[in-house]
Each structure stands twice: as C-alpha cells, then as structure tokens.
Amino acid sequence: MNSDTLKGKWNQLKGEVKRHWANLTDDDLLKIEGNRDKFVGRVQERYGKAKAEAEKEVDAWNRRHKLW
C-alpha cells in the first residue's frame, strides 16, 4: 500500500482507534500516522503493556480493519 493510501485509510480509522484505545491522545494519533511500530509503541506507553502484548493487540485490531 502506498503512503498516501495508508494515510487516507489511517485518517478514516482514527475514530475506531480512539474507541478501542481511549487513552491514546489526538497527538498520539497524529504521530502514529498509520505506522505499525509507532502504533505499538504508543499502546505500550499509554497502557503500560509489554511490547509483545501491545503487538498482539494491535495485530488483532489490524486483522479486523486491514490497515497494513
């Protein structure tokens, strides 16, 4: 997926991300920009999760929403 398509899809899914991870701020969402590693890092940081646990949650969410 090219970067413009990814950014467009990310912008469409931001509301869903906020519903699932309410502790993520609007600033977090801007910084993530649809990047999986940044997404995992923010979930890890905001929820105090281990990296493997955050990856598992983000990947499960992605299976439903097909961002990457």
pTM, two decimal places: 0.89
pLDDT tens digits along 28-62: 999 999 999 999 999 999 999 999 999 999 999 99
Which sign, positive or negative, has the C-alpha torsion 33, 37, 27, 65? Answer: positive
Structural domain harbouring 14: 3-65
Place of tokens 């969410």: 61
Distance of CA 2 to the CA centre of its chain: 17
User: What is the total count of domains within the chain?
Assistant: 1
CATH number of the domain residue 25 falls in: 1.10.1470.10
Residue 29 is predicted with a pLDDT of 96
- Residue 3 has a CB neighbour count (10 Å cut-off) of 9
Residue 31 is predicted with a pLDDT of 95
Amino acid at 54: A
H runs (alpha helix) in the chain? 3-20, 26-32, 36-47, 51-65
Q: Are 50 and 40 in contact (CB under 8 A)?
A: no
pLDDT tens digits along 7-36: 889 999 999 999 999 999 999 999 999 999
